[in-house]
Structure 1
Amino acid sequence: MARVPYLSQADLKPEDQPLLARDISLHKALVNNPGAARAFSGLGGYIRHKSVLNPRLRELAILQVGWLARSPYEWSHHVKIGYDFGVTDDDIVALIAETNGEATALEPIARLVLKAAREIHAGPGIGYETFAALRAALDTESIIDLVVTASFYCAVVRLLASLEIDVEESYMPYLKKYPFPV
């Protein structure tokens, strides 16, 4: 159960009601502070709709952070969203294997993006060797978007855990398909 109430559009001022255009638990909790919800949605919206980073690579980076953080909400939501942007079941299995240090058939750029996301998650940021490899593979704008994306989702998983945001029932099948290790 979340640590803050889940609000509905009826609980909000008319000018704040559009903040719940996506009827998900995270947004229902964040609208307890409409200003924070707007700020959060601004960067999240940029990442989803305006980032120049390849969308499949973006979703792999987000999934990597969700997997490392053992964030049920983030993981389940972005398995579903990832499918919409070209992430396959083979990609997800490979992500899990890559996290465990196992060799996979993922293409080099996907492996590099996952490594960068792991380094960002571990902190303090991407190492020199990995960054040099990114420079050889991506343009500067895409690298910035990768760093912003992985860093933002490191914050998101901490927000989700701190507020104990519940996974909606419709996302539970993704957790069952790809459960976290015990």
Structure 2
Amino acid sequence: MDDTEGARVPLLDRTDLPEDYQYLMEEDVMGDLNLFRTMGHVPRVMQAYMRLGTALWNGGDLSTRERELAILAVARAQRSRYEWHQHVDIGREAGVTTEELRRIAHADETGFPEREQAVMRYAEAVAAGTVTGPLFEAAREVTDTETVVALTLLAGHYLLTARFLDALSVPVDDPFVGWDPEA
């Protein structure tokens, strides 16, 4: 985590936070990531962001794999190296293969089941601000209204995160896995 070059604000350590918020940067909370080391400048907001993220992970009827496909689609569409980097391994843990990651990186949805294609297309459109009636209906047809609403919130959350990371030039925590990750 020593790669802080280019960050627009200092990356904080756990001890830089008020004592009441230091628990947010404990390893099991994932707060030691550069994303949170940057957000730590406003610890109350960081706490709310983390709680919202947890709630969104559990919203609707998306599988872990579908949720990761949606996040990866947003990351690719926004060219968010940080988000992509963080979610490549999480996606792999959810069953996304290296070949599928490469296809997502190139906006190629061939080979994915209809439901997964609809989820990725819809998430990307939410992030781009280009949701159309047919895209919405395609996502709702393969899920349900609750899941589309949850997917909308999830994609919006990762759009917000991508913009935050970009605006503050938050560096990737480790060497970037690349848009065409290796096995």
Q: Same fold by TM-score, threshold 0.5 exceeded?
A: yes
Matched-pair contact (CA < 8 Å) for 1:80–1:174? no
Is 1:8 matched up with 2:13? yes
Matched-pair contact (CA < 8 Å) for 1:94–1:106? no
How far apart, CA to CA, are the structure 2 residues paired with 1:143 and 1:106? 19
Q: CA deviation at 1:67?
A: 0.7
Aligned pairs, number:
172
More helix per residue: 1 or 2? 1
How far apart, CA to CA, are the structure 2 residues paired with 1:113 and 1:135? 9
How far apart, CA to CA, are the structure 1 residues paired with 2:148 and 2:171? 32
Shift in CA distance, 35/103, structure 1 to aligned 2, threshold 3 Å = closer
132, 139, 150: which one aligns with 1:134: 139
How far apart, CA to CA, are the structure 2 residues paired with 1:19 and 1:31? 9
SS at match of 1:174: coil
Matched-pair contact (CA < 8 Å) for 2:102–2:180? no
C-alpha RMSD over aligned residues: 1.9
Share of identical aligned residues, percent? 31
Partner of 2:100: 91
Is 1:156 matched up with 2:161? yes
Is 1:143 matched up with 2:148? yes
Shift in CA distance, 12/96, structure 1 to aligned 2, threshold 3 Å = closer
Q: CA deviation at 1:103?
A: 6.1
Partner of 2:181: 178
Q: Deviations over 1:134-179 (max 9, x none)?
A: 222102222121111111111110000011101112xx25227439
Give, as a single letter, the amino acid of the residue that structure 1 aligns with 2:114. P
Give, as a single letter, the amino acid of the residue that structure 1 aligns with 2:138. A
SS at match of 2:170: coil
47, 56, 59: which one aligns with 1:51: 59
Contiguous gaps of at least 5 residues in structure 2: 1-5
How far apart, CA to CA, are the structure 1 residues paired with 2:148 and 2:14? 37
How far apart, CA to CA, are the structure 2 residues paired with 1:157 and 1:133? 25
Contiguous gaps of at least 5 residues in structure 1: none
Shift in CA distance, 9/96, structure 1 to aligned 2, threshold 3 Å = closer
Matched-pair contact (CA < 8 Å) for 2:8–2:168? yes
Q: Which runs of 4+ in 1 moved over 3 A?
A: 176-179
